[in-house]
Structure 1
Amino acid sequence: MSFSKSYIFLVTTLLLITLSHAAIFTVVNNCPYVVWAGAKPGGGRRLDHGQTWDITVPAGTQGGRVWPRTGCNFDASGRGKCNTGDCNGLLECNAYGVPPNTLAEYGLNQYMNQDFYDISLVDGFNVPMEFSPTANGCPHLRCTADIVGQCPNELKALGGCNNPCTVFKTDRYCCNSGNCGPTEYSKFFKDRCPDAYSYPKDDTATKGCPGGTNYRVVFCP
């Protein structure tokens, strides 16, 4: 199979445009313990205290996530298990993590070429987090409260604090019908981390920043 020079030029140009608008997500572990970062897209990486990991994310990515995993043990082939944030028992994640895990969520180059991003506790909490655009004027988001230590008994999990949907699986907490509001449990999360999503319809937590921005995700900021 052969391709014309004009076709190759067009494909190369489109590739260069895509790469030039890709965002860099720098993941930093400031925790005094090991965190295994998970990312979709991106995969996964063990991060000792002070280590960083740069992830190149294509423009237009929707449903992107970065999250911390704790209590992990992987063999030489990258298979194992984590107490929190596990992604099908793999070091290199190809699916979202299992609750509880603190989430940095984003969509790049969306409406009016804006990035949209948030910290979410809809999957619970395991590690304190900051999610910060590098562009001036865009909000920095933080969730650094001792949620694990203060977690209600019925939401406690090994290494984390579950969101009530994970535990009770009812429409009141999971918003399956679309008609739901704050609860006593979502208020527990919101009072401690006002920057973060506390339940699925908590739309006040989403922020915007111009497309082409790079980001930092810091564990234990």
Structure 2
Amino acid sequence: MAKQLALVLLVAVVAAAATSVAAATKLTLHNLCPYPVWPLVTPNTGFPSISGNTARLDGGGRGLVSYDFPASFWAGRVVARTGCGGGGGLVRCETGNAPPATVVQLVVHSPEGAQDLAAYSVSLVDGFNVPAVVSPQAIAGGGQCPALGCAADLNAGCPRSQRVVGAGGAVVACRGTADYFKARCPLTRTTGSDVEPVPQHCLAPGELKVVFCQPSMVAAAVPELIRTVVANI
């Protein structure tokens, strides 16, 4: 009897451990831009930091970094800073420390009944500086998990009056308008009340992958479901 009880307890412990592993989620940032970026990962008020925000991601796909999300509910945002320099812990950047900037918004382990829900979006409400696409990977719970964001360089066609010009004379950010952004990147949020035109209900992804300067976004075989071409490096 004692041996049977011990076996039951062992099975329960193993099952609990497996559940814990399955629920783990990480954030991966991958830079495909032809220039370096310095990602700024900021938790919403009341949530713990997951990054020291010291990473430099070199361009051309060489820059790749991953962070572990907490095992509990977490919400925050990611911005790709550009043109950064400075010393003594003080980082000065041409873009990303203040608007205009592309903002990736993330929520993981949001309780919905007994489900483990992730939510994500790319916001251009505060303007644009770097193309960004977020896509769930290793989806354990299923659901609707489209890739969302903007693969286009909106700085190139930014109206002259709304451009931010860097020290080298290039356009490094765009204040833009909601109409300008939405027409070119419909899978982003461009106003406070905006939502994407595709359904999202993503359960227990093992990874949220943010790619800066992804080459393209392509339609999958399922109508209105947008997926991405993501390099798995």
TM-score, structure 2 normalization: 0.67
Residue matched to 2:110: 110
- Structure 1 position 102, deviation (Å): 1.2
**Aligned positions of 1:116-131 closer than 5 A:** 116-131=119-134
- Percent sequence identity over matched residues? 34
- Structure 1 position 103, deviation (Å): 1.6
Residue matched to 1:186: 178
Q: In the alignment, does 2:161 pair up with 1:148?
A: no
Does structure 2 conserve the Cα–Cα contact (< 8 Å) formed by 1:18 and 1:58?
no
Distance 1:130 1:62, change over 3 A: same
Give me the CA root mean square deviation.
2.5
Q: Residue type matched to 1:145 in 2?
A: A
Residue matched to 1:11: none
**Aligned positions of 1:128-207 closer than 5 A:** 128-134=131-137, 135=139, 138-158=145-165, 159-162=172-175, 185-204=177-196, 207=200
**Superposed CA offset, 1:65-123 (max 9, x none):** 11210011031x3213111112xxxxxxxxxxx11211211111224131111111112
Gap runs ≥5 in structure 2: 1-15, 43-48, 166-171, 215-233
- Structure 1 position 57, deviation (Å): 1.2
1-structure distance, mates of 2:126, 2:73: 21
Q: Residue type matched to 2:185 in 1?
A: C
- Structure 1 position 17, deviation (Å): 8.0
2-structure distance, mates of 1:19, 1:85: 34
2-structure distance, mates of 1:140, 1:213: 15
Q: In the alignment, does 2:78 pair up with 1:70?
A: no
Does structure 2 conserve the Cα–Cα contact (< 8 Å) formed by 1:118 and 1:141?
yes
Distance 1:102 1:61, change over 3 A: farther
Gap runs ≥5 in structure 1: 1-13, 87-97, 164-184
Does structure 2 conserve the Cα–Cα contact (< 8 Å) formed by 1:122 and 1:197?
yes
TM-score, structure 1 normalization: 0.70
Residue matched to 1:25: 27
The count of residues paired between Structure 1 and Structure 2 equals 175
- Structure 1 position 188, deviation (Å): 0.9
**Superposed CA offset, 1:126-177 (max 9, x none):** 11111110026510123022311111233222310125xxxxxxxxxxxxxx
Q: Residue type matched to 1:149 in 2?
A: A
